[in-house]
Structure 1
C-alpha cells in the first residue's frame, strides 16, 4: 500500500515533468555529500531544479505524465535536473559542472516534451549550442547581410556620380 508521502512525491514529479522544457537524468553515485550540496546550489543559481528521486517513483510519475520514454533513461541512483526555460541552459549547467569539478556525476539522457529520448552524447552536443539570443542574433545577421550587400551595389553608382560631380566642381572652381 503506497504511503501518502509517496503519492505526494509522485504527484510532485509528475507536475515537474509536465511543466519542464527539459528533464535531464544523471547518475549520482560516488558523489560526496558536500559536492552534492555544491551541485544543488550551482543548479539553483542556474535556474535548474535538481532532485534526487527513487526510480520506481520516477517511473510512476513518467507514466502518469504521459512520457513513458522517460523510463528509458532512469537507471541506478538517479537525480533529475528540471529546466523550465531554455533547454540548452539546463544541459550547459549540468555539463559545465561535470567538466569544471571533474565530478563523477554522469548524464544518462534527457527528454524534451513528448519527443524521443536524447542520449548522453546528444545532451552534451546540446550543451555546446549557443544561447537562444545568440542564435537569434546570428539569424538576423544572416538575413541582413544580403540586404546590406544589395544596398552597397545600388549605392555604388551614386557614390561614383557624386565623386565625379565633386571633382568637376573643384575643376571649375580652380579654373575660375
Structure 2
C-alpha cells in the first residue's frame, strides 16, 4: 500500500475515532470468510463499527489522540471496533463471539486514555450500556417521589384503620 493512501486512510479514521470514548482491538487470525462475515454482522447488530486496517494506519490515526496508549498492541492481525453511543458494546460482542470461536481474541481496549490489555479489556464489556444507565437514573429519580406519596397516604390510611377498629370495637360492645 502506498504511503499517501495509508495517510489518507489514517486521516479519515482519525476523524471517525477522535471524539470516541473507547476503542476495542481484536485479533482475528485464522477466521474463515463465513466466520468473518458473521462477526461483522454481530458488530452491526450491536450498532458497532468494525473495520480491519493495517496496523500502521491505526498507529498514524491514534498518534496524538487520547487513544495513543493502544499503540503497543498493534502487532499481528488487528480489527478495530467502536461504538459512539455505547463504549462497552464492541467489547461485549467480541467477548461473546470469542466464547463460541477460539479464533477471535480480544487484544485490548483504550478507554479515555487508559489502556486495558487482554483480560482486563473484558471489564469494558461489563460496563452497562446507555439504556441500563438511563433506567437506573430514572429509578433514582422516581424513588424519593414514590416514598413521599407512600408517606402522605400512610397517615389517612392509618387514621381510617383506627376509626374502623374503634367502630368494630363499639359494635362488639353493643
TM over 0.5: yes
Q: Give the aligned partner of residue 129 of structure 2.
A: 131
Q: Does the 8 Å CA contact 1:50/1:81 hold for their aligned counterparts?
A: yes
Distance 2:135 2:124 in 1: 18
Aligned residues: CA RMSD: 3.0
Q: Does the 8 Å CA contact 1:28/1:106 hold for their aligned counterparts?
A: yes
Paired residue total: 174
Q: Secondary structure at the match of 2:88?
A: helix
Distance 2:65 2:136 in 1: 36
Could you tell which deviates more after superposition, 44-53 or 166-175? 166-175
Distance 1:74 1:92 in 2: 21
Q: Does the 8 Å CA contact 1:14/1:64 hold for their aligned counterparts?
A: no
- Structure 1: segments with no counterpart, 5+ residues: none
Q: Give the aligned partner of residue 42 of structure 2.
A: 42
* Alignment partner of 1:161 out of 143, 159, 162: 159
| TM-score, normalised via structure 1 length | 0.79
- Structure 2: segments with no counterpart, 5+ residues: none
Q: Secondary structure at the match of 1:117?
A: strand
What does the per-residue CA deviation read over 1:123-148, in whole Å, with 9 as the maximum and x for residues that have no partner?
Answer: 21221333332234335445655665
Q: Does the 8 Å CA contact 1:25/1:79 hold for their aligned counterparts?
A: yes
What does the per-residue CA deviation read over 1:53-97, in whole Å, with 9 as the maximum and x for residues that have no partner?
Answer: 111221111115463212122121111112211112222122122
Distance 1:50 1:103 in 2: 19
Q: Does the 8 Å CA contact 1:16/1:82 hold for their aligned counterparts?
A: no
| TM-score, normalised via structure 2 length | 0.80
